[in-house]
Amino acid sequence: MKIAVFSTHTYDKTFLDEANQREPAPFDLIYQEAGLSLQTVAFAQGCDAICVFVNDVVNAPVLEALHGLGVKGVFLRCAGFNNVDIDAAQKLGLLVARVPAYAPEAVAEHTIALILTLNRHTHRAYNRVREGNFMLSGLLGMTLQGKTVGIIGTGKIGLAVAKILNGFGCRLLGFDPTPSPEFTAIGEMADLDSLLARSHIVTLHCPLSEHNRHMINSKKLGLMKPGAMLINTSRGALVDTRAVILALKSRHLGSLGIDVYEEESGLFFHDRSSDIIDDDVFQRLMTFPNVLVTGHQGFFTTEALREIADVTFENFNCLANGRSCPNAVLKA
Ligand code: NAI
């Protein structure tokens, strides 16, 4: 089976090649650095399937073009599938499969890194000390023990975050339409508005869907405690970035830590250090001392990349052997 792998970086190739070597009949992987879009879909010519990542464009026109080329499967190297038009894929009879859980602890630990860094200003302390400035002004944090953290989405990653923060002695509030008993054993469920009003830190761990785009908007930001911290390692468009900038400028929002950004495609996963970045919203965010941005690296651990590659090959094999795929994404 021949598979076009889009948005390939060296590390993807390393882990996919390693998994392919374990296959009794290795797959023919055609690596493309380019992301998938209507402009690049022709790279899938002659392939049985494609393999994509978070920012590849897998909308109806792209799916129709893939179908026209004879492609039968779309394999995501990630958990989120908000970039795929599942309806369109189903109508065309294309299998869409994902990697539903790979080291949720990896994303949870990165979330904690953002919280700890922003709270104790270690990103600023690092630079200060290297310049011989040992002043503490501006580095004041809060003791996390006893503070309330609101977790929006208490699934695998949200629960892993909750377990770590439980160890810190934080009070935990959760908002999720499907509460898990594992979470309620250590935290309390709340409605969204009360979670926002009661939390010193709010962290997002729910998938992006057509129903919750900009779920954190100016109204919801207004409900948050003055000086609270907002963390998003889930999907950028859950948060209205423009509203967040206003909340930071008014000093109502205390700090922001994001690993995802609503317009991250074209920025994240690329070296843009020699370019003029013309996204003024993103550039405004970069001017705040109390904003920390990482470029979608929450998943980026050896263990997670190995798991992504292994599950991706299990998914390839479902299509190759005509088996039903346990990781298929179906319209709810
Ligand atoms: P999961 O499916 O285990 O948990 C998601 C939870 O969110 C579920 O319990 C669900 O009931 C809940 N939920 C759904 N809609 C909601 C809403 N409107 N409000 C509150 N809760 C809602 O998924 P998992 O593995 O915990 O991943 C969560 C998200 O994290 C993914 O959808 C993805 O967007 C993001 N992610 C980010 C990564 C990164 O590198 N930064 C890597 C992997 C995932």
Q: How far apart are CA 102 and CA 310, in angstroms?
A: 10
- Structure token digits, residue 129: 């000390």
What domains are defined for the chain?
Answer: 2-102+301-330 (3.40.50.720), 104-293 (3.40.50.720)
Query: What distance in Å separates the CA atoms of residue 258 and residue 286, rounded to the nearest whole number?
Result: 11
Q: Which two tokens stand for residue 96?
A: 């869409």
Joined tokens for residue 188 = 């309390």
Query: Is position 307 annotated as part of the catalytic site?
Result: no
Atom of ligand 1 nearest to the CA of 101: 25
Asked whether the beta carbons of 199 and 225 are under 8 A apart, the reply is yes
For ligand 1, the distance from its centroid to the CA atom of residue 135, given in whole angstroms, is 40
Contact 303, 108 (CB under 8 A): no
Q: Which residues pair with 29 in a beta bridge?
A: 3
Q: Say how far apart CA 304 and CA 110 lie, in whole Å.
A: 13
Protein residue whose Cα sits closest to atom 2 of ligand 1? 155
| Contact of 218 with 193, CB cutoff 8 Å | no
Task: Please indicate whether residue 178, judged by its CB atom, sits closer than 6 Å to ligand 1.
Answer: yes
Q: What is the mean pLDDT of each run of 10 residues along the chain (332 residues)?
A: 97 98 96 97 98 96 98 96 96 96 94 98 97 98 98 98 98 97 98 98 96 97 98 98 98 98 94 96 97 97 97 97 95 66
Q: Can you give the pLDDT at residue 103?
A: 86
Q: Which of 77, 98, 235, 262 is catalytic?
A: 235
Q: What are phi and psi of 203, to 5 degrees?
A: -130, 135
- The C-alpha atoms of residue 112 and residue 144 are separated, in whole angstroms, by 11
Report the pLDDT value the prediction gives residue 151, as an integer from 0 to 100. 98
pTM: 0.94
* Ligand 1 contacts CB of residue 77 (under 6 A): no
Distance, in Å, from the CA atom of 327 to the CA atom of 307, rounded to the nearest integer, reads 14
Give the strands of the sheet with 73-76, arranged side by side. 28-31, 2-5, 49-52, 73-76, 95-97
User: Residue 158 CA: which ligand 1 atom is closest?
Assistant: 26
Is 235 annotated as catalytic? yes
In our burial notation (b when 16+ CB lie closer than 10 A, e otherwise), range 127-161 reads ebeeeeeeeeeeeeeeebeebbbbbbbbbbbbbbb
Residue whose structure tokens are 């990542």: 53
256 in contact with ligand 1, CB cutoff 6 A? no
C-beta of 206 in contact with ligand 1 (< 6 A): yes
Q: 207 alpha carbon to ligand 1 midpoint, in Å? A: 4
pLDDT on residue 110: 98
Burial class (CB in 10 A: 0-12, 13-18, 19+), 44: buried
| Chain-centroid distance, C-alpha 330 | 20
User: Is any ligand 1 atom within 6 A of the Cβ of residue 187?
Assistant: no
Question: Which of 12, 157, 202 to probe ligand 1 with, by most ligand atoms within 8 A of CB?
Answer: 157
SS3 call for 67: helix
Return the pLDDT at 332.
Answer: 64
